Structure 1
Amino acid sequence: MQKSLSDIQNALLIQQQTDHFNRFSENAAEVIQALTIEQIHLLKQAFALSDFVAETFISNPEWVSEMFSPSFFDFTEQVDASAYLLERISNCASEDELHRVLRQLRNKFLSAIAIADLCHHCELKTSLANLSRLTDTLIDGALTWLHQHCQSLWGQPQNNQGVEQTLLVYAMGKLGGKELNFSSDIDLIFVYPEGGETVGSRRSIDNQQYFTRLGQKLIAALDQVTKDGFVFRVDMRLRPFGDSGPLALSFAAMENYYQDQGRDWERYAMLKARIVGDGPYHQALSDLLKPFVYRRYIDFSVIESFRRMKQMIAQEARRRKLQYNIKLGAGGIREIEFIVQVFQLIRGGREKKLQQRNLLTALSLLVEHDCISVNSAETLRSAYYFLRRSENAIQAFTDQQTQQLPDSDLNRARLTHVMGFAQWQDYVVACQRHMQAVNHEFSLLVGEDNEQNTAVDAHWLTFWHANWDTQESIEWILKKRSSWPAELLNKQLRNFQADLKKRSVGNRGRQVLDKLMPVLLEFLPEQQTAQLTLQRTLQVLTKIVTRTAYLELLLENPPAFKQLLNLCQSSAWISEYLAKFPLLLDELIDPKLLYAIPAFNDYPQLLGESLLRIPEDDLEMQMEGLRQFKQTQQLKIAAADITGILPVMKVSDHLTALAEAIITEVVSMAWQQMVHRYGQPNSTIGTDEKGFAVIGYGKLGGIELGYGSDLDLVFVHNRDASCQTSGEKSIPSKQFYLKMAQRILHLFNTRTANGILYEADMRLRPSGNSGLMVVHIDTFKHYQNTDAWTWEHQALVRARAVSGDKALIEKFTEIRHQVLTEKRDAKQLQLDVTKMREKMRQHLDTSSEGVIDIKQSVGGLADIEFLAQYLVLNNNHEHHGLSHFSDNVRIFGGLQAEQLITTAEQQQLVSSYCALRDTGHALVLQSLPAQMAEDKLLIERQQVSDIWRKYLGQN
């Protein structure tokens, strides 16, 4: 039955036996005298094979006497020592004593089990069952003691109906399957039935808080390392939300999590889950989670998720050089487990018998249900026995959690002896034969890896799933991309992963994201822009992680994903825009369409077509349709902008044309809504007129809108005050247009799911904020001629009608021309303009040391605009053509044509204006403030100042 150490003829083992036994004899002479020769021989053999057993008995020699007594447990058979263990645990008087007793019981019983396993070569099933039962009992005993202790501190937890509540401990993994190995950690999840609060103490606490505290105490009782060692390494990361999730969850919270967010790997984990101990809630909790684990249909989708996990594990094995790892290496224990679990998940929903936690039991049933052949099952079973016995032995040598084949001569000699081989190389050959056979079965199930297909993301797949320290991660990044700022990238990615844990991503979303992220890292540019591109791309992904459809869009359309990275690399504004409005990701699918910019006159037609599918009476959808159209077109313009397809001036032309088309559509919508409610003004009946027009001021009027520009608007109408509307609820036309103006602003400014349409600013209307929202055109004329300030006439230089009836537009144009043609006092005009410019600079200039405001600083854009306005107001009475245009470039062209400025000045002003706008525009695309170094464009700004000084004096 036993092999003597002399038969092994291994000097290392003999030396180890001698050293340990000599140390034991120093303090255990009486114990040794009471032992038989056979018992001493067995003890020496155990000392040779396990440092853990030797050190345990050297420290506690009295345990040897107890172990060899006839009344002690025979661990060569499956035993139930729960009464013995629970009695000693229940007698503890304090937490400190509980900790000590638990560790002593663990070490005593583990030593006995190790001797049975290493020396008596007991059956694997027996060893695993005894280890699992010991663990169950220690957990259950500790929990019972701590629950009573916590009740004395905080009261008894109850639900809202007064029913007592208790903490339940889910055993996961090998413990759940009752196949725990010698020095394994234990994966646990804490749950409790219902919320409520404690009763019977001076201060009640809610159940969540109570069970969290109890769970923390249980972990400390088992996991904390004291002078007596530890009981078990406790791993709580399998709980919902992992480390970032609550330590204990109610049944309802648990069910919600797995229904909404449970991932494939959690289905594998829950296969073996069981409640430790006995109780009334076990079946209810089992029934609650079974639908998540086992599908009612035959579920072949698990094969794909299985492949993903397999690829990740294979990459991890290569990275960590795990080819000698009998669990994680190719053909290791993990592959056997996966093969069995895949079939359980595929068919377990239909074949209830397959819903087994124990692997060997499930393996036998797979043959019965024709899932695998008898020969395959025998191959797997034989390998499982061999590898698990090896694993158990390796861990029993020094009580270390390892599955790596030993590299020391001593432990190799030990493993060779325990596994019944004469030489180490004989064991290695047998081990390799088993693992190769398992890997063959594994590959038949999931298919061979196509290295060519998987190589692209294999490197990054490993990285994405790895739980490495910072240095390992950095080294792995640099291995593939030596030019990257690896530390920054790693920090960004790990922060992103941490953020994901706080979000309700869902099972499918996580699956897609796990595929997408390695592709992202492969697609990132190799230059230094990788960090910025990643930062911006993650900003977009963060916004869409809970919306799986968008993740799938990027995964299924690699060109779209590459397009996203290109845009993010080029522009912070675009990345923020896409993050804000992820619907726009659809536009990335076809690059030809993305960069197909409409002609200026096509925007109204395209807008009309896009709104055709929306019922006219569905205001909410119409508002969303307007916003989506604007966002889509702005993205197209921006994409063409950053690629150089459109120069800045043309960008502004397109943005302005887009805004005009939208303004016209909004006016039409508001008109229809008002007419539906009140009828239309009687004087408009039978005509195509609305009697209404929109005047664009500022950047809209000057045809220089940017991506984030507001719309400066003024509304005018031309209907008599006596005119009524035609509806049953008739109102005066003045009131009608006021309500219409309010409706227009509502359509523009209301924030919907797609944000606002435009920020509409009405402060330039007659009398400003104190004035009516809409005025009669005659009132507008009177105000401009009698009440308007010089700065309002300056604003009028940049004004133009952007939407409305033809006759009303012509009337406005006529008024504008008349006002701008009035002769002004030159000195007063100069004073007014310079005072207003200085006032603006004092209030708006953001320049600081070394940095200047592109618009408001001396020689900046505002100076150029004021120069144009001044020269028009000062000269249009004699040169009427100056007021024909509202944009600066053509105004300067008109001034030069009339010889009011020199050709050199015109060229300098235009080139300076364009250079400053280009710079500001580029900053907007990077979401940066409109500022630049004070030495930038110095010549241009000096030229502007010189021209200002010539016409307006000291600036």
Structure 2
Amino acid sequence: MFESLPPVLDDPRLPLALARARRHSPFLALLADREPAIAEAASAGRLDPALLVYDPDAPVAQALRRQRRALALHVALGDLAGVLDLTAVTAALTAFADAALDRAIRAAIAERYPDAEPAGFAAIALGKQGSGELNYSSDIDPILIFDPATLPRRAREEPEEAAVRIARRAVELLQARDGDGYVLRVDLRLRPSPEVTPIALPVGGAIAYYESQALTWERAAFIRARAAAGDIALGRRFLDAIRPFVWRRTLDFGAVGEIRALSHRIRDHHAQGQAFGPGYDLKRGRGGIREIEFFAQIHQLIHGGRDPVLRAPATRDALTELAIAGWIEVTDAEALTEAYTLLRTIEHRVQMIDDRQTHRLPMGEGLDAVARLHGLVDGAALLDRLRPAVERVGRVYDALDDSKRAGLSRDPLALGEALAARGFGDGAVAAAQRIAAWRAGLYPALRSAPARDALEAVLPTLVEAIGHAPDPQAAITRLDGMFEHMPSAINIFRLLEARPGLADLLARILAHAPPLADELARRPALIDGLIDASALDDVGDGEALVAAMRGGDVGDYQQRLDHVRRVVGETRFALGAQIVAGAADPLAVGAGYARVAEAAVRVLAEATIAEFARAHGTVPNSEFVVLALGRLGGGVLTHASDLDLVYLFTGDFHAESDGPKPLGATLYYNRLASRMTAALSVPTAAGPLYPVDTRLRPSGGQGPLAVSLDSFARYQREDAWTWEHMALTRARPVFGSEAACAATQAIIDAVLAGDRRPRDVIGDARAMRAEMTRHKPAAGPLDVKLLPGGLVDLEFALHVRQLVHHAGLDPNLGRAVERLVPAGLAPPGLPAAYRLLARLLIAMRLVASDAAEPAEATRALIARAVGCADWAAVVAELTVARQEVATWWETIA
């Protein structure tokens, strides 16, 4: 039970600790008399956990009272001597509380139902018991739940009645006092609506309450919840069921304000303990224990829904994890941890005096007694020790409260002047008119009073950020469009209020990236993803993305489709934000887009195959293969790219599936392919995913959606046209077993190496490019794809050389170009030209998708993205790159 306690300890400080305990603590002096073996050992400089025995032959309550008494003396002496730290002390106290509560529940069940298994009744520990940090003289605050189906009960006894009787008896065993004292004080008021609900709750009703009606402080309480006693499996099932209630991926930031308001109410209610000095409340006072706990819990509620590592129940552990993750300053975490340790230690000293559940420093001689028990000269010395820690905690916690931020004037003239001063310039009047419309609640998202209050709270931060954006007028216009289409705006307002730094990034997104602004209007929760420290980092490898898409709280196929769409939407949005923020090379972002898409193909193929097999089984000795072409095959997408896919299957096309509704192999895989396309492209409640283009399959739109691998090989060797072989140079299997993918790749490699019908590759390519120029001209002066010397010319020239010379055969355009240079098939400057064009395409698809000259403010963003000093350098380097590509295209041979 007491694993946190070290084995026998010999330390010369123990006799001095015993002497201080006898002199300054009536309670410890009494315990020393009642537990002579422990006192004698301490006077000899020894602590021995073997003396903390539980007598199984004594009545449960009596045995627990005596063990508690022995433990109280043991940990107090170890604490006072400095041989047991706060962690060891609180862990031992918690372990005893868990064991005592468990024994009381089992005894209560055994008294009424002697032959029954102690199942169906559990205690959920909250507060410091839940986090393993129990006080020296603490109450415990469990919630008692029961399962009506498994709870022991007598004939004709209702489960509710049986559960309440078990609960009452267990509490009585713990709280009843006699000459040996008591075991534990039990407070059951943290259960839902304690004034009207029974002391034990049916598990189903408790889950329903926490999923639909619970208050913010109850969410915070469950940060430290733990199944501690009784039927542990039942307790864990309950906590698993309500975990989404506690840890929300999309947080209503009003919860943070409610926790702050609770802190203010505590300060007001305990006003006499707020001023530091004699009488100061170590727990509830300004700068006290509760504020350290609330500081950690606020950040855990904000970030813990997305990062399970931050869900540490113990306060000091939580502070450490928050600092590691970068959500709080390391210096603040260290200061709060030191303060917490000191405040809790002195709190224990106060409680050791008379074994009272108090947190307030005594007055006069009582304060001197606490100080001397701790080993200090007097109360003044104790206050001097505490003061720096209390003041630092108060400053750190108060910094969270931005409720005193000045608002924006409602007077039109004053508002216009304020906006002009904040960077809106000539657009200040128009911006003031938009803000007036928001305040008037003209849009549904702003119609409610809470929404307008939340708007007012965040307006100063939002206006400041937009005013510093490169194009404030464009940003506020797009923000207005967001508000117009959003069903609710409260959450995004509270998020920006709680994290003002996000407003700067939001302003840049609104000013530069219409596709991201449009996505935000449809799904405001996307902004939540940017609060993670890793949002502007690389998205990770394919396996990590696959794991994220395979995860989630998913019960069926439709939920899997929704979950994948959420993960893809959040990740693609974050990738786009990286370009806007200047945090990543567009080529790296393009590769990230491709890894996300490939992971979605893999996960949705798995899910679709499993769902399809429920009705139709599987085709023996056969499997589904997905071949990526185009930009996905090359491993670099833009924000707006569709997916070029070809569906194949291995095995005998004459075979038949083995399910309840069998299908021939060809029909089976064509229907499966149609389902796969729908899984990737049809919008669900979670939004759209990808447009899918299957026209590169054999025979194009006239051919079947899925063909056998043998048919694919025969078509590529005998019937495919030059443009199809050009497309094949970027083909890559992205789903299928290792053997199936290898077989598919072998066919591609053989065809590209020359196992195909002879064609006039150069002539066909010239004719196709001329036809494309006539029917699909460049969209604008910066259409780096279709302009002469753009990416299409580069791709045509590259594919011709790949097919004619069987060289540079890599689906990735950048690597393929680099391979041609040493072979003398491409000029040395071509790789740099490709990189510039590709970076421009990826960035322009996000910030200037019409290929027109971007706004002045956006030009600097594009220049930075492609690695140029300014816009003039972009234009100059683009001219050089296009000339390099155009010359290469004209010299194909």
TM-score (norm 1): 0.47
**Structure whose CA Rg is larger:** 1
TM-score (norm 2): 0.50
